Amino acid sequence: MNTHISTSQLKAWERPTRAPEVGGNKTQADVDLWRKLVDRIMTAGKTYGWNKAEVARRIGMPDATFSQYFSGKYDGRLDTMNEKVSQWLDALEETVSLAATIPQSPQYMALRGSQEVIETLTWAQLCPDLVMITLGAGLGKTETCRQFCRTRPHAYHATVSENTKTVHGMLVELADELDVKEHNPARLARAIGNKIKRTGSGTLLIVDEGQHLNDEALNQLRHFVDVYQCGVAVVGNSEVYSRFTKHRSDRSYAQVKSRIGKRLHRAAPYEEDLATYIAAWGVIEPACVKFLTGIGMKGGAFRQIDKTMRMATMVAIGEGSTVELKHIQSAWKMRDVEDMA
């Protein structure tokens, strides 16, 4: 939710100067309830930085109708409008209350596996060089890349997908991260290169989900390393590197492969990292640790533990107890991902 609140937004939530008049289809009880609902609306609007138009949209009410209702000038059935507004406010408060109980995942931790990623990214940035980081799902590669960019200057993290796997699609993602404004597709690569040159040495481009990139996009990254002397890290699953073993005789692949300065590949998490991650959830009972370790060794690793523990914690909260083995087992069963892991 947006919590930035401008002065104009606060002013917009001043208390109405008049109230609906009792009579016709408006009872005193309706008016009394309206006053209480107006107070709750004002509190919600100020708390989340919503203006009247945004509140009207969230309630599902036309702007003009909400304006009349809030100002006490609505001529229709006040009881009907009160009910609609009350339902929205109740749902909002219930959502906020539920969100407060949802357990938060552990913050970034300097695990052995994540430290290997940091070291590989550092190599790429300092040399500069082209590196490939291919890790199994759920091993924290993306969060580690984000942490690297948060703590290092001139490091940029772009994520590609099936929709942005081409040279142009990838360049658009990189341009967005580098804050490069160039609307001519033919000049986009050069504009990015010029930004790299202006930044100077130590620039690192991290391209996440690199398995989606087509061959031309990979070659474009090689071009950045060769021409602009920047570091490039292609991060993804093992598919991105396996292309080079399948096309040993392909000259274009050889050009890229010969420029890979370092490759980090790991399919499964270190057991010591699993132990640290499980401990970060506050789990110390041996049976629980063993069960979660088994989950962590499946496809998805830390992500599987995270999702299971979040659900297990909610189940335990619902029972008014702390997390036990039965809650973790129940959460894993409820997630129903055994055949997918």
Mean pLDDT to the nearest integer, 206-216: 94
Backbone phi, psi, residue 216, to 5°: -65, -35
pTM for this model (two decimals): 0.73
Report pLDDT for 25: 85
User: Three-class SS of residue 262?
Assistant: strand
Contact 19, 31 (CB under 8 A): yes
Q: Model confidence at 245, in pLDDT bands (50, 70, 90)? A: low
Q: Model confidence at 2, in pLDDT bands (50, 70, 90)? A: very low
Of 116 and 2, which is predicted with more confidence? 116
Q: Where are the domains of the chain?
A: 7-101, 112-266, 271-335
CATH class of 112-266: alpha beta
Percent of the chain residues past pLDDT 70, beyond the cut: 92
Amino acid at 185: P
Percent of the chain residues past pLDDT 90, beyond the cut: 77
309-341: pLDDT as tens digits: 999 998 998 888 999 999 999 999 999 887 655
Residue 154 in this model has a pLDDT that exceeds 60: yes
Helices (H), the chain: 7-12, 28-48, 52-59, 63-70, 78-101, 112-126, 141-151, 167-178, 188-199, 215-228, 239-246, 251-257, 271-280, 286-296, 301-319, 325-335
Query: Which CATH number among 1.10.3470, 1.25.40, 1.10.260, 1.10.8 corresponds to the domain 7-101?
Result: 1.10.260
